[in-house]
Chains A and B, each alone.
Chain A
């Protein structure tokens, strides 16, 4: 899916070193010295250490890390508020590390807008004047400015506040103004630096929803900086985790949670509510042994069940479309009755799910029907795999809630009893 998307921003071996002795610090860095060693030897701080990644058009790309991990520095390299020490950044395939100051002003005015942690609004200007700030810098006419600012304020849900001043607005609303200011410029890229970190939790969650709504309408390329993994997971199509200037891991939320690349990432991930992130696609057994409804009879089914030592098998048709499950008991019964096919014993009233179902969504299904869950393709109904109840339960036992775990264990016991 990702292969045919356009690359909007490409970062190539980007390093940024603060301090006077950049050359020797860079040499040490390339020799593989650590950040601390370099600081000791050259008194230089490594902000970003050879970061390489691509950001696709229209995606929300989250850069996550603790303070001092270099995430904000990296963001500021993208609009060249910081000048990288070495490496390249391409925006629309144009290298911006070689641009002159004048060209940079133009890029910042047209291609990207930034949203700040503490809003960065001008207290002596009204809301609409703040929202129109980027346009004012571009020397647009007042009429045009006003019109576009009002439109942007409408997009962020701030109608009627045009003539107030920032200090009369709450934090969440001030950040909406910050967002409106960014949108009013109509840039292709939004750079958001801990944009919601200064807000209290409820407002923060509202703003995240608002941002996703806006993103659904506008389809910008968003680079979002945060130290909050929950926020990263909620907003990010892909997440890059940074530590000491290095990108430790890059992937979707699920990739990062299911296979953390390092202890650092692992430590982050441990606190996450996996239930809402792990999907059927990860849990399922791919290419399960299946029975063909048109071909396999009870005897064949029994043989397969014995070799696989399974009591339940999924049944598909010749297009690999999922039909239902058959149980060993029923198959034995059918064999005794000398049935030639499985049509009479296949249970078709079982739930089937799609790959993107989360554990949270799957749990209610297993407590009702004691079957594995068939994962089918959304478009053509083909069987992709099977999520067994034990694997769901194992996944679930990582939950924090003790009651939930014991309840699930009870269910599991019953399930196995019933199988015998």
Chain B
């Protein structure tokens, strides 16, 4: 069929323009991400496996048990998650994918951090201003429905191959729930509590930080959980543009038609996903 409208062409022109004229910016971002990911990787890999496992297990235990950490009910509540962390991480270690698991974790943490850094303020903005909300919502819909692979093309264009385009594509893909759930959480704070803030002469900032954000926190934490899981689901796709970690092993498995490799690395991702999910959920449910 004949092409009458050529939107893709215009997008291409726009991307080319951005690439040419803002290259210093892309370089700076590239360097920053690469540096952060590399230094986090070397930090984590310098910690002995057993110590790292203990730290994760301790975080899991504390997240789940909370105030009851030092008595029987705490042990009862948190023993499941702690045991799972031990078994899961030992399994990954024994399968020989510890380094890749750490790389994946770093990628997820850095992407999540950036996604939250952008997503929470945008979410606040969209909760506070209906105009902002009207603009932001369709953009989020677009971001979520556009196939994730598409983001890889401009990401390579701006950052060449490596961890940076992987992180950027992951951030774009996992940003929407951070925005949506922050916005939802703030909008759902009871009107009367906010009105009480106004009635006692609170400024907009006081209302945001003393009332809205604390009360929206469980919803925001549910958003954090979603961001992490979406980021994890992106690691395989991100490996197509050169991101390292378990995702790249899965990708190798596909290319080499290697069932064993594919299954083991896939299992590793599932274990990481469950651990990250349970820990963040436990933090979210604490209140």
Q: Which residues of A contact B (CB under 8 A)?
A: 79, 81, 104-110, 113-114, 116-124, 133-134, 136-138, 181, 185, 191
Q: Contacts A105-B201, A109-B201, A185-B200 known; A120 to B192 CB distance under 8 Å?
A: yes
**Which residues on the B side are within 8 Å of A79 (C-beta)?**
199
The yes or no answer to B95 lying at the interface (CB within 8 A) is: no
Q: Could you pull out 8 A-B pairs where Cβ atoms are within 8 angstroms?
A: A108-B198, A114-B196, A114-B200, A116-B195, A116-B196, A120-B190, A120-B192, A136-B210
Q: Size band of the B side of the interface?
A: 10 to 19
Q: Which of B192, B199, B215 contacts A118 (CB 8 A)?
A: B192
Are B203's CB and A114's CB within 8 A? no
**Which residues on the A side are within 8 Å of B190 (C-beta)?**
118, 120
Are B193's CB and A108's CB within 8 A? no
Are B215's CB and A123's CB within 8 A? yes
Are A81's CB and B200's CB within 8 A? no
The 3 closest A-B pairs by CB, nearest first: A109-B201, A108-B201, A120-B196
Are B215's CB and A120's CB within 8 A? no
Q: Contacts A118-B190, A137-B206 known; A124 to B195 CB distance under 8 Å?
A: no
**Which residues on the B side are within 8 Å of A117 (C-beta)?**
192
**Which residues on the A side are within 8 Å of B201 (C-beta)?**
104-110, 134, 137-138
**Which residues on the A side are within 8 Å of B240 (C-beta)?**
none
**Which residues on the A side are within 8 Å of B214 (C-beta)?**
122, 124
The yes or no answer to B81 lying at the interface (CB within 8 A) is: no
The yes or no answer to B267 lying at the interface (CB within 8 A) is: no
**Which residues on the A side are within 8 Å of B196 (C-beta)?**
114, 116, 120-121, 133
Task: Give Cα A108 to B197, complex, Å.
Answer: 10
Task: Give Cα A50 to B198, complex, Å.
Answer: 25
B interface, over-half SS: helix
The yes or no answer to B155 lying at the interface (CB within 8 A) is: no
Are B198's CB and A81's CB within 8 A? yes
Are B215's CB and A109's CB within 8 A? no
Task: Give Cα A81 to B197, complex, Å.
Answer: 11
**Which residues on the B side are within 8 Å of A110 (C-beta)?**
201
**Which residues on the A side are within 8 Å of B202 (C-beta)?**
105, 137
Closest to A187 in B: B200
Are A122's CB and B215's CB within 8 A? yes
Are B200's CB and A109's CB within 8 A? yes
The yes or no answer to B287 lying at the interface (CB within 8 A) is: yes
Are B287's CB and A124's CB within 8 A? yes
Are A108's CB and B200's CB within 8 A? yes
**Which residues on the A side are within 8 Å of B206 (C-beta)?**
137
The yes or no answer to B211 lying at the interface (CB within 8 A) is: yes
Q: Contacts A118-B190, A120-B192, A122-B193 known; A81 to B199 CB distance under 8 Å?
A: yes
Closest to A118 in B: B192
Task: Give Cα A137 to B205, complex, Å.
Answer: 11
Given A123-B215, A134-B200, A137-B210, list of 6 further CB < 8 A pairs? A107-B201, A108-B201, A113-B199, A116-B196, A124-B215, A181-B200
Measured between C-beta atoms, what is the minimum distance from B227 to chain A in Å?
A: 23
Task: Give Cα A124 to B287, complex, Å.
Answer: 8
Q: Contacts A105-B203, A136-B210, A137-B206 known; A120 to B193 CB distance under 8 Å?
A: yes
Task: Give Cα A109 to B287, complex, Å.
Answer: 30
**Which residues on the B side are within 8 Å of A181 (C-beta)?**
200
Task: Give Cα A191 to B199, complex, Å.
Answer: 10
**Which residues on the B side are within 8 Å of A121 (C-beta)?**
193, 196
Task: Give Cα A309 to B200, complex, Å.
Answer: 65
Task: Give Cα A294 to B180, complex, Å.
Answer: 91
Task: Give Cα A124 to B217, complex, Å.
Answer: 10
Task: Give Cα A121 to B217, complex, Å.
Answer: 16
**Which residues on the B side are within 8 Å of A120 (C-beta)?**
190, 192-193, 195-196
**Which residues on the B side are within 8 Å of A136 (C-beta)?**
210
Measured between C-beta atoms, what is the minimum distance from B88 to chain A in Å?
A: 33
Task: Give Cα A385 to B203, complex, Å.
Answer: 58
Measured between C-beta atoms, what is the minimum distance from A190 to chain B in Å?
A: 11
Q: Which of B192, B193, B199, B211 has the most CB of A within 10 A?
A: B199
